[in-house]
């Protein structure tokens, strides 16, 4: 499958705005041909290696049982997270599921500006160099802000799965989220947050 994010990153801002919807429609048609087991969260996670920890700037999938799920307005059972700050009991990360697929594609294009291939060889160890300060200070990363979430390691249910760099674009657009409310409501709230930043 073509690297969608690479295609989008080569477009001008005007082309990006015009072509993102078109590219996403192509992508939706492409994933519709995949077997269900390759589209749902459990099936997708099974295809990636287990790990016991996260590395800053990588991309990870896991099942999550939110500590305050009874009071949170919404939460994601299957986060897709790019960790950027470690804590003694977990980490802060960007859960890409909190914004619409079109905005995810745009955000990933911007995030790729901050990647580093650690061994400057294979792309396997490519990481995004990201901090909270960078996210707050960079207007091009405004769509990252509603994605900032804190995850407690004691509430990760089962294994963490690392998504290899070559699959970041595909996995970030797959509908592997599971919110306790309609995803479009989550996207709407995130959009309202972003609009309030300007």
What are the tens digits of pLDDT across the range 12-34?
555 555 555 555 565 555 555 55
Say if pTM beats, i.e. exceeds, 0.85: no
Beta strands 126-128; 115-117: pairing state: antiparallel
Give the integer Cα–Cα distance in Å for 103 and 51.
28
Using a 10 angstrom Cβ sphere, with 0-12 exposed, 13-18 middle and 19 or more buried, the burial of residue 177 is: middle
Residue 146 confidence (pLDDT) above 60: yes
Determine the Cα–Cα distance for residues 114 and 137; give it in Å rounded to an integer: 14
Tens of pLDDT, residue by residue over 162-180, are 998 888 887 888 888 999 9
Q: Any idea where the domains of the chain sit in the sequence?
A: 4-197
Per-residue pLDDT band for 74 (boundaries 50, 70, 90) equals: very high
């Amino acid at each position: 499958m073509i690297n969608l994010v690479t295609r989008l990153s080569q477009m001008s801002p005007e082309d990006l705005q015009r072509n993102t919807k078109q590219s996403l429609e192509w992508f939706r048609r492409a994933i519709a041909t995949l077997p269900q087991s390759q589209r749902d969260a459990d099936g997708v996670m099974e295809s990636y290696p287990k790990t016991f920890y996260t590395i800053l700037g990588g991309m990870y999938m896991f099942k999550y049982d939110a500590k305050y799920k009874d009071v949170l307005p919404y939460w994601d059972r299957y986060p897709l997270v790019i960790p950027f700050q470690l804590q003694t009991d977990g980490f802060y990360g960007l859960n890409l599921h909190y914004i619409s697929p079109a905005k995810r594609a745009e955000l990933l294009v911007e995030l790729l500006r901050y990647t580093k291939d650690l061994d400057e060889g294979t792309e396997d160890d490519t990481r995004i160099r990201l901090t909270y300060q960078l996210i707050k200070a960079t207007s091009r990363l405004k769509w990252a802000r509603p994605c900032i979430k804190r995850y407690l390691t004691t509430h990760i249910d089962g294994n963490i799965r690392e998504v290899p760099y070559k699959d970041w674009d595909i996995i970030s657009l797959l509908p592997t989220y599971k919110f306790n409310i309609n995803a479009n409501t989550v996207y709407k709230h995130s959009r309202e947050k972003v609009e309030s930043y300007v």
